């Protein structure tokens, strides 16, 4: 019985998020916008929506765009390590290896009251070499930015939606550990 009661808040939380609407729109090779319309018309806490939910889709969007800094970094790593770029869907270059990205970690967070908040996420880009050893080496550190702001009118009245801006902040080459 106690376990069932403990699950009730979780179920209500999941149900309240189920009708929320999020629309992902590409703005450029290294930026995107997510329009969020919460289920409730009550004034939200923007920090609630700094959740990293769209980060994977954002990274995939950048990798698919040859003009993005991330796709160019991937191509550069392939050329450095294999002398060619990948043509397979999984990125594998036969007898050579593939570029891999690590999971992202939230490395910063801040909020400016109820209507704005943001976070930074860091991940690493490296190359996994073919062979029995499966050697992986990170060569770049990349940082994403996620900023959420409540949409308000001129009188600062909440308009029922929030805007989440996603951007590739920077890619930094790492020194070789040799």
Supply the pTM of this predicted model: 0.84
Q: Which residues of 51-71 are buried (b: 16+ CB within 10 A; e: fewer)?
A: eeebbeebbebbbebeebbbb
CA distances, 86 to each of 42, 127, 131, 175 (Å): 48, 12, 17, 25
pLDDT for res 136: 85
pLDDT 10s digits, 151-162: 999 999 999 999
pLDDT for res 178: 52
β partners of residue 121? 106, 144
pLDDT category at 18 given cuts 50, 70, 90 is: low
* Extents of the domains making up the chain: 20-173
Q: What is the mean pLDDT of residues 6-20?
A: 51
pLDDT 10s digits, 36-56: 999 988 889 999 999 999 999
Query: Which of 82, 178, 89 is closest to 130 using CA atoms?
Result: 82
pLDDT 10s digits, 51-94: 999 999 999 999 999 999 999 999 999 999 999 998 888 889 99
pLDDT category at 177 given cuts 50, 70, 90 is: low
| Encoded tokens for 133 | 């050893």
């Amino acid at each position: 019985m106690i376990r069932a009661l403990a699950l009730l808040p979780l179920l209500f939380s999941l149900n309240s998020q189920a009708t929320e609407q999020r629309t992902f729109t590409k703005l450029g090779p290294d930026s995107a916008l997510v329009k969020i319309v919460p289920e409730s018309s009550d004034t939200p806490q923007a920090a609630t929506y700094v959740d990293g939910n769209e980060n994977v889709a954002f990274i995939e969007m950048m990798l698919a765009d040859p003009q993005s800094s991330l796709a160019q970094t991937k191509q550069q790593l392939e050329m450095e390590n294999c002398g060619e770029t990948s043509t397979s869907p999984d990125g594998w270059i036969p007898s050579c290896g593939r570029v891999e990205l690590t999971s992202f970690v939230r490395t910063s967070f801040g909020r400016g009251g109820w209507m704005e908040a943001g976070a930074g996420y860091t991940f690493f880009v490296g190359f996994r070499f073919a062979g029995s050893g499966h050697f992986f080496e990170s060569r770049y550190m990349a940082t994403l930015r996620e900023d959420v702001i409540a949409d308000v009118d001129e009188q600062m009245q909440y308009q029922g939606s929030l805007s989440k801006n996603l951007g590739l902040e920077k890619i930094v080459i790492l020194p070789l550990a040799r």
